Chain A
Amino acid sequence: MALKIVKGSIDRMFDKNLQDLVRGIRNHKDDEAKYISTCIDEIKQELKQDNIAVKANAVCKLTYLQMLGYDVSWAAFNIVEVMSSSKFTYKRIGYLAASQCFHEGTDVIMLTTNQIRKDLSSPNQYDTGVALTGLSCFVTPDLARDLANDIMTLMSHTKPYIRKKAVLIMYKVFLKYPESLRPAFPRLKEKLEDPDPGVQSAAVNVICELARRNPKNYLSLAPLFFKLMTSSTNNWVLIKIIKLFGALTPLEPRLGKKLIEPLTNLIHSTSAMSLLYECVNTVIAVLISLSSGMPNHSASIQLCVQKLRILIEDSDQNLKYLGLLAMSKILKTHPKSVQSHKDLILQCLDDKDESIRLRALDLLYGMVSKKNLMEIVKKLMLHVDKAEGTTYRDELLTKIIDICSQSNFQYITNFEWYISILVELTRLEGTRHGHLIASQMLDVAIRVKAIRGFAVAQMATLLDNAHLLTGNTQRNGICEVLYAAAWICGEFSEHLEDPMQTLEAMLRPKVATLPGHIQAVYVQNAAKLFATVLRKHDGETESQAAQETSQLLIDRLPLFVQSANLEVQERASCILQLVKYIQKLQQKNVEVAEEVTALFAGELNPVAPKAQKKVPIPEGLDLDAWINEPPSESESEDEKPKAVFAKEEPKHSRSRHTEVDEKELARRREVRKQEQANNPFYIKASPSSQKVYDAPGVEHIPVVQIDLSVPLKVPGMPMSDQYLKLEVERRQKEKAERKKKEKKKKREKRGKERKADSGPESEEDITPAHQVDIVTEEMPENALPSDDDDKDPNDPHKALDIDLDKYVPYCRHLQFIHVLHIVYDIQGNHQDESKVVVSVIFENKSDSFLKSMEFNVLDSLNSKLQRPEGAGAHDSLTVPFQLPPGQDTHAFLFVSSVSVSIVAVCIDCFLMQSDESSTHEKLDFKLHFTCTSYLITTPCYSDAYAKLLESGDLKGSSLRLEGINMPFHHLLARICFHHHFSVVERIDSCASMYSRSIQGHHVCLLVKTTVSIDAKCDEPSLLGNVLDEIKQTFSKC
């Protein structure tokens, strides 16, 4: 034996410690993985030793390896062993390792419950501290349920070091076990006024986290926080509180009004930038919540903008960044005050820091108006040219498009300008947003009917110069633009000046190098163009040109027929055959133009992206119901797809089974026709009725007035600039005209009230260059109103949405009308088992200030109020606080008591009526001590539990709970929480639970999922009472 010990300690001398491991890894740079695997083998050996120091050392090394990415979950059990060491040094290593690698899936975690409980109640505060810290990282719902009570007790520990940790960890407990929030909340609230600043800060922290997710439940704390805000000097606490107010103000505008002044004072007085920034942020939130109806807050807005300007002008990049961030919040409600700083923001676009440039871009997005859009975009285009690095340039590109297209092209007055901007953007090399530009082109061309002529001309130029764009054929590259160009030219080919030329451009051999989907569009639209060319030459006696076109197609299309892309191939061969047939007809001098055109007749309307989702489900249609009998179990595997089909397409499968008579069929055909007629994507069967090509009058297309006196393209100057110039001129002209008109008006209607729109160039004054009707996207009829519920159903905070102002159902309350509302809860005292703790919440219900309060218990043989030393047996206890009206507070009383059920209490209240006079009220009430109050959650191991049951000292009784339909673990959790039991063991459908009374009586429960409870106890009267109480708890829910 002695030899073994000697051997152990000699071995230890040569074990690597953490430093050796690190050094070793550094010395084996070339074969690190191999070295580490030998180290892991050594560690495995060390973990087999009995010596706890060796094990701790090994675990310490594992923690390091875990950081390097090695899975160490195999050592979880050893970690638990080290955690349960009695030495602080080892315990700390164990908990550190556990906090790094334990999680909800770690199965050994359930072994730790009792160990952690032991550590939590350890006399050494650092053992408790280490356990709390570790637990905060790996707390599971089970641990939270079992330990909630212990941690709640620690919240009133004597040492602030423990208190603050216990308070902070409660947040994690709430997340995992939401039921604990309600009972813990009063104590948590009380900690907001803890004498120790650390505890206070922890409580603020927890409540802020809670309130951020469910702010409405915490509105009642606003006065308390308000008090803290004006009194605290800790910047961390202040920042948290101010952030919290930011979340609360949208719910309660009155709060916002109160906040403005103290926040403004803080902004003026503080030297800490972090605090200043948060104040500004919250003032902004307040102003947003107050909305525009409060003109007298313009001073606050000015102050904020002014302070933010200082931040943005600072040389510190961080302040600049945050300044821009906050500015963008102001922008949403007070765009005018930000717009005056446009210079500063444009300046930030030149900053060397990309994040700042991106922020500035975000701001610009909100700053545009009809008036300045062109100017801002021009600046951005300059930056695009200058920008280094494709990421930033791409970002600029998307921003330009975002800015222009926002809220349905609201700010664009001249779509010709926008199209030319888009065309200019295609000249960017190496962009990855070809697709974006393409979709914009399509969008504008489809929705803005007036622009089609111009767009088609531009697109035709693009197609003509396609070689410039095909250099980069990667996916999403700029060549995507050709997709849009080809489609627009094809679809709106009636606007083309020279369709033949475009057709030629689309059938160049070079096209075959483009991506397949673009080629497919080329081929399809070549056919459309073909139809247009035919129409153009329709009626001409000499059909030479038409025949040449057919020949061109017949010559070029075979190239596409050979394409590797299936779709290109399919379309090309289809169209090739068609053209060959047409050629034959042409040679016989048959008029074909009209029929060919009919192939592509019909208008394509834009459809809203959500349209499909919004189609309401017809009444009486249950998509989940079986249409047919569900397939029997024995059905073979390969029949399954059929079953799925039957489920997804109910209509078809039904028609298979039901007898359909002729009438019904005819009716359905009618319905289908009707549907198709309304479907924009269905090419109509009767072309003559819906032909677009020869029915120009149908659409009321507004006349586009292009000022042809100005050439569309100016050599050496980007086109869009020309538009800017034009626009300025146009506006000036308009203004002049308007002035003339106004003068006229004035002359005519002198003395009459002038209209309000005479301000210099207000937003409304700018009329669009041409009448543009933006086609709105189609939505199904009777679409459901928007119900974008974006809330994540898995959000753990959802469960914490508990209205805390509703009083706790299982705490007893007493109400003395008009004076006091008292809620109390009784618990056994862990430290001193002859005592119980009565925690009481007093709420002042009266209108007057509660100056002082005295609390007295009529001592009896069995119960005694614990009074300060030196006090007489009948002296009252003065409650150490005063209560303003409407507020509540929390107090603890210690009562030495053994098995009493009722304690008589007397309270003397001194209410302040006015400055001098006060009234006195005497309130008597009784505290009902339940048996549960005398039960103390005590851990019990399953073997000890089995022994206890075998001993035969216990008497049994049982109880059936009716009408309970909660999950089993909730049921257990309730019993644990409300009746101070702990789960000993849980096997599938039943669980054994244990608790002990302060007099040492054992209570054992066997709870089954059938909601029957078998109980055993060595004290029959206790047993009966506990069961009664459990029954009561569950009858309440």
Chain B
Amino acid sequence: MIKAILIFNNHGKPRLIRFYQYFAEDMQQQIIRETFHLVSKRDDNVCNFLEGGSLIGGSDYKLIYRHYATLYFVFCVDSSESELGILDLIQLICFFVSVCVFVETLDKCFENVCELDLIFHMDKVHYILQEVVMGGMVLETNMNEIVAQVELQNRMEKSEGGLSAAPARAVSAVKNMNLPEIPRNINIGDINIKVPSLSPF
């Protein structure tokens, strides 16, 4: 069983966490900190298995991780999982993330999963992960099958108009201009209209 999947960056900031066993939020953060502490002090040329996380599981559990540029992908697994298999799986997931989230680029070079991409699309990465691992067990490892299923679901989302409809996108583009804050709420009677921030001339 996989007990947890943790992705965090070189500073220990969580980028995606997925626990398959319940832990309260503060405990989750503690586990992330502990795991980061264990993993970060290891050189890149040492083995990718690690025993001794005290917070999850106990003696049966080990950490299997990979380090790509600025990201650590850590799996906490028990003895029923094959160590080398999980290492392959991590590589596979990185590949899916780069293929499925960033379809436009279709950057086959999965070594370059960019941290920024992950931050802004945490939900999408979760959806991909759900097609690979379910409830702590490996669901599917066939690459084509996973990509096809994720694609179909994304297409469904598109046909429904997606989470943010077109106008919201336009506005968010305006917001991206990073303008100084000016009061945005103007009350006219009971209508409460928000006005976009404009640059002061």
Give the interface of A toward B (CB within 8 A): 3, 7, 9-15, 17-20, 22-23, 26-27, 53, 56-57, 60, 63-64, 66-71, 87-90, 92-93, 96, 100, 103-104, 126, 132-133, 136-137, 161, 164-165, 168-169, 171-172, 197-198, 201-202, 205-206, 208-209, 212, 234-236, 239, 243, 273-274, 277-278, 317-318, 320-322, 352-356
Contacts and interface: CB of A to CB of B under 8 A. Distances in A.
Contact of B83 (A165, A198, A322): A322
Given A10-B194, A208-B80, A93 B168 contact: no
A880 to B, nearest CB: 26
B84 interface: yes
A66 B145 CA distance: 30
A990 B2 CA distance: 39
B126 A96 contact: yes
A206 B135 CA distance: 11
Interface in B107-146: 119-120, 122-123, 126-127, 130, 134-142, 145
Contact of B172 (A7, A17, A132, A198): A17
A365 to B, nearest CB: 16
Nearest to B185: A14
A168 B130 CA distance: 12
A963 to B, nearest CB: 38
Interface string B158-183: 00111111011011100110100000
Contacts of B139: 164-165, 168, 198, 202
B147 interface: no
Contact of B138 (A133, A165, A236): A236
A197 B139 CA distance: 11
Given A19-B120, A164-B140, A236-B141, A133 B80 contact: no
B154 to A, nearest CB: 10
B171 A320 contact: no
Nearest to A7: B191
A9 B171 CA distance: 12
Interface stretch (B14-22, B68-76, B98-106): B14-22
Q: Which 10 A-B pairs have the closest CB atoms?
A: A136-B135, A274-B84, A353-B46, A317-B47, A103-B22, A14-B194, A69-B29, A321-B47, A89-B157, A239-B82
B149 interface: yes
Contacts of B120: 18-19, 22-23
Interface in B36-74: 43, 45-51
B20 to A, nearest CB: 7
13 contacts: A26-B119, A57-B163, A57-B164, A67-B14, A69-B26, A103-B22, A168-B139, A171-B137, A198-B139, A206-B137, A277-B83, A317-B46, A356-B47
Given A317-B47, A318-B49, A320-B47, 6 more contacts: A7-B192, A88-B157, A89-B160, A92-B157, A201-B138, A318-B87
Contacts of B48: 317-318
A11 B165 CA distance: 13
A96 B127 contact: yes
B135 A169 contact: yes
Nearest to A202: B139
A104 B22 contact: yes
B200 interface: no
A53 B149 CA distance: 24
A147 to B, nearest CB: 14
A886 B162 CA distance: 55
A356 B163 CA distance: 49
A1004 B130 CA distance: 39
B198 interface: no
B156 A126 contact: yes
A355 to B, nearest CB: 6
B10 interface: no
Given A60-B163, A356-B47, A18 B172 contact: no
A613 to B, nearest CB: 23
A9 B168 CA distance: 9
B82 A277 contact: yes
B9 interface: no
B1 to A, nearest CB: 7
A68 B14 contact: yes
Contacts of B140: 164, 198, 201
Nearest to B120: A19
B163 A93 contact: yes
B46 to A, nearest CB: 4
A235 B43 CA distance: 30
Contact of A168 (B135, B156, B175): B135
Interface string B76-104: 00001011110110000000000000000
Given A22-B120, A63-B123, A274-B84, A136 B134 contact: yes
A148 to B, nearest CB: 15
A209 B1 contact: yes
A273 B86 CA distance: 12
A88 B122 contact: no
Interface of B: 1, 14, 16-18, 20, 22, 24-26, 28-29, 43, 45-51, 80, 82-85, 87-88, 119-120, 122-123, 126-127, 130, 134-142, 145, 149, 152-153, 156-157, 160-165, 167-168, 170-172, 175-176, 178, 184, 191-194, 196
A22 B117 CA distance: 11
Contacts of A198: 139-140, 142, 145
A334 to B, nearest CB: 22
A17 B163 contact: yes
B76 to A, nearest CB: 15
B50 to A, nearest CB: 7
Given A57-B163, A96-B126, A352 B82 contact: no
A13 B193 contact: no
Nearest to A281: B82
A207 to B, nearest CB: 11
B7 to A, nearest CB: 10
Contacts of A64: 122-123
B184 A14 contact: yes
Contact of B88 (A15, A57, A88, A274): A274
A10 B84 contact: no
Given A12-B168, A20-B172, A277 B152 contact: no
A318 B84 contact: yes
Contact of A13 (B49, B126, B167, B178): B167
A92 B127 contact: yes
Nearest to A137: B135
B39 to A, nearest CB: 12
Given A22-B120, A205-B137, A243 B46 contact: no
A775 B28 CA distance: 49
A318 B47 contact: yes
A321 B157 CA distance: 45
Contacts of B85: 235-236, 239, 274
B46 A352 contact: yes
A136 to B, nearest CB: 3
A209 B80 contact: yes
A71 B28 CA distance: 11
Given A14-B196, A353-B47, A87 B160 contact: yes
Given A19-B172, A67-B17, A67-B122, A278 B163 contact: no
Contacts of B29: 69
Contact of A70 (B25, B126, B130, B164): B25
A239 B81 CA distance: 9
A334 B25 CA distance: 47
Nearest to A160: B145
A23 B173 CA distance: 12
Contact of A355 (B18, B49, B167, B184): B49
A189 B56 CA distance: 32
B85 to A, nearest CB: 5
B84 A277 contact: yes
A10 to B, nearest CB: 6
Contacts of B153: 88, 92, 126
Nearest to B152: A126
A63 B17 CA distance: 10
B195 to A, nearest CB: 9
